[in-house]
Amino acid sequence: MQQIHVIPAFTDNYFWLIQPDIQLPDCFIVDPGDAKPVFDYLEHHELQPKGILITHHHHDHIDGVASLVNTFDLPVYGPKSPAIPQVTHYVKEGDELPLGGLKANILALPGHTMDHIAYLIAAEDGTPLLFSGDTLFAAGCGRLFDGTAPLLYAALQKISALPDNTLIYAAHEYTLANIRFALTIEPHNADLLERQKVETRRREQYLPTLPTVLSLEKRTNPFLRCHLSTVKHAVESLSGHKIMTTEEIFASLRRAKDQF
């Protein structure tokens, strides 16, 4: 049986460790933006890293790579991008990456950045585990940097098409702020109101709100609900004009979140 470990870092980052077999110390590190908390965690839990998985090029996801590689001589998997020279093994959409007894399927998710990918792993019991980087967050999604709104919308639609029981291991603890924004769009969404209570209690206990499950995101994340009339009307009220397509609704929603 696999185990997923979480390492909090900076003010709101999560680095994930994938341990394919809890009987063995081998693990894979996802998006280590800082080496020290990873070193500390590995030592405390007596884990042995076997590789690093990168989702995109932002510094809070890659700045710890060099130190970890220098210490452990690890392979680094990630997208082919001049902004990530640390990558030693390029992966792309459709590739399968063996991770001990597990296997990761690579999804291309351009939008937040053009080089963004995600790692989709089938757990031992069949549950899909998605390491989504900064594409999909709990109750939110990533900002647009060098990508575009249509690309990010398409990336989120790709995620939305995954099985409803998919667990989302996002890279940041943004949940409560995302819920506050979501409630400006759907203030009467009962699932969202209940989620605010649940996630607030978790954070009061210093517990992560991740992973989240895709079925919950479909009920509470406005960026996955652009096809609904409630979201359309709310976005039109914010923008002051009629919007025709779901892509336009998404783009307006992302701009509103940027200014929130």
Residue numbers annotated as active site: 56, 58, 60-61, 112, 134, 172
Structure tokens at 217: 């995101």
Task: Please state whether the peptide bond connecting residue 82 to the residue before it is cis, i.e. omega within 30 degrees of 0.
Answer: no
Measured CA to CA, the distance from residue 164 to residue 257 in angstroms comes to 25
Structure tokens at 248: 């336009």
Taking phi over 0 as left and psi of -120 to 50 as alpha, with beta for the rest, 46 belongs to left
Give the 3-state secondary structure of residue 165.
coil
Measured CA to CA, the distance from residue 50 to residue 190 in angstroms comes to 44
β partners of residue 28: 18, 51
